[in-house]
Structure 1
Amino acid sequence: MEKKQKVLIVEDEKNIVDILRFNLRKEGYDTLEAFDGVTGLRLALEESPDLILLDLMLPEMNGFEVCKLLRDKGKNTPVLIITAREEEKDKILGLDLGADDYITKPFSVRELMARVKAHIRRVALIRQSAGNQEDRLDFGRLVIHKESAQATKDGERLELTQREFELLTYLASHAGRVFSRQELMERVWNYEGYVGDVRGVDVAVRRLREKLEDDPAQPKYIITRRGAGYYFQKDL
Structure 2
Amino acid sequence: MPLDRNNPIVLVVDDSPDSLGMIHTALQLGGYTVLVALNGQQALDIVARIQPDVVLMDALMPVMDGFESCRQMRCLLPLTPILFMTGLSEPEHIVKAFEHGGTDYITKPINPDELLARITAHVRSAHLISDAREALDSARQHVLSVNDRGAVLWTTPETRELLAGNGIEVAVGEFVLSGQIREWIGGRDTAQDLIVHTTRRPLIIRYFKTVHADEHLLRIVDQHQLLDPKVLEAALPVTKREAEVLLWVAQGKTNREIGEILTLSPRTVNKHLEQIYSKIQVDNRAAATSIAIQSLLGMTV
TM range (shorter): 0.5 to 0.7
Amino acid aligned to 2:48: L
Task: Write 1 or 2 for the structure with the bigger share of helix.
Answer: 2
Q: Distance in 1 between matches of 2:94 and 2:112?
A: 20
Tell me which residue corresponds to 2:29.
26
Q: 1:107 aligns with which of 110, 113, 124?
A: 110
Secondary structure of the 2:49 match is helix
Tell me which residue corresponds to 1:220.
189
1:159 matched to 2:151? The reply is yes
TM-score (norm 2): 0.48
**Contact 2:59–2:86 at 8 Å: present in 1 too?**
yes
Closer/same/farther in 2, CA of residues 86 and 209 from structure 1, 3 Å limit: farther
1:97 matched to 2:100? The reply is yes
| Alignment of structure 1 residues 23-62 onto 2, 5 Å | 23-62=26-65
Amino acid aligned to 2:145: Q
Deviation at 1:209, TM superposition (A): 11
**Contact 1:160–1:211 at 8 Å: present in 2 too?**
no
Deviation at 1:102, TM superposition (A): 0.9
Secondary structure of the 1:53 match is strand
Q: 2:67 aligns with which of 64, 67, 73?
A: 64
Q: Distance in 1 between matches of 2:49 and 2:19?
A: 23
Q: Distance in 1 between matches of 2:128 and 2:151?
A: 22
Tell me which residue corresponds to 1:140.
none
Which has more radius of gyration?
2
Q: Distance in 1 between matches of 2:79 and 2:152?
A: 10
What RMSD in Å do the two structures reach over aligned CA positions? 3.5
Percentage of identical aligned residues: 27
Q: Distance in 2 between matches of 1:209 and 1:117?
A: 36
User: What are the ranges of 5 or more consecutive residues in structure 1 without an aligned counterpart?
Assistant: 138-143, 166-207, 223-229
Secondary structure of the 2:52 match is coil
Deviation at 1:85, TM superposition (A): 0.5
| Alignment of structure 1 residues 177-216 onto 2, 5 Å | 212-214=182-184, 216=186
Closer/same/farther in 2, CA of residues 107 and 150 from structure 1, 3 Å limit: same
Count of equivalent residues = 169
Deviations 1:135-186 (A, max 9, x none): 689xxxxxx71xxx5359xxxx941447xx9xxxxxxxxxxxxxxxxxxxxx
Which is further off, 1-10 or 22-31?
1-10
TM-score (norm 1): 0.60
Amino acid aligned to 2:44: L
